[in-house]
Amino acid sequence: MFYRLLYITFIGTSSLFASGGYDNGTPAGKGNIDLDFTWNPNDIIEKGQSYVVWGYGLTNSIDFHGYASHEASTGNDQIYWGFMKNFFQNPWVDLSTAYGIRHRKEKYTPISPNCFIRLNFPILIK
């Protein structure tokens, strides 16, 4: 019973604050680095992935960003890199677009345009 409750609590709350595994549309800010890691040790989850997502702020609204991943089910490795431009930001939402190149299965693929949306739920303090 305790392990079920722990599992439900972890799964239920982790999705609220998740940011790893995808680029979220929020720029890192000039000179800052954002890193997110997910690890599937020894490919224990058959359809899982291990990956790192990065972003480096060239300016306050432009990032060099990308990811590197390993797919457990196929054994494929891939890497994506490109530039992301944040064009709208307020306390509730961040909107960005990006252009990049993905290398997968010995093939390079341009990916454009990407659209990133991040919804923020700020805590209002009175």
Q: Biggest alpha carbon distance in the chain?
A: 55
Looking at residues 33-56, what average pLDDT do you find? 89
Q: Is residue 54 part of a domain?
A: yes
75/23: higher pLDDT: 75
In one-letter notation, the amino acid at residue 18 is A
Measured distance CA(120)–CA(90) in Å, rounded:
9
In one-letter notation, the amino acid at residue 96 is S
What does the DSSP 8-state code read for residue 61? S
Q: Is residue 78 part of a domain?
A: yes
| Helix, strand or coil, per DSSP, at residue 13 | helix
Q: Is residue 124 part of a domain?
A: no
CA end-to-end span of the chain? 39
Q: Which pTM was predicted? A: 0.70
Question: In terms of residue numbers, what domain contains 105?
Answer: 2-119
* Tokens read off for 6: 């722990």
Measured distance CA(49)–CA(26) in Å, rounded:
23
* Tokens read off for 117: 């949306």
Looking at the structure of the chain, the number of domains it has is: 1
**Spatial contact of 57 and 70, defined as CB atoms under 8 Å apart:** no
pLDDT of residue 6: 55
Q: Is residue 125 part of a domain?
A: no
17/58: higher pLDDT: 58
Q: Is residue 52 part of a domain?
A: yes
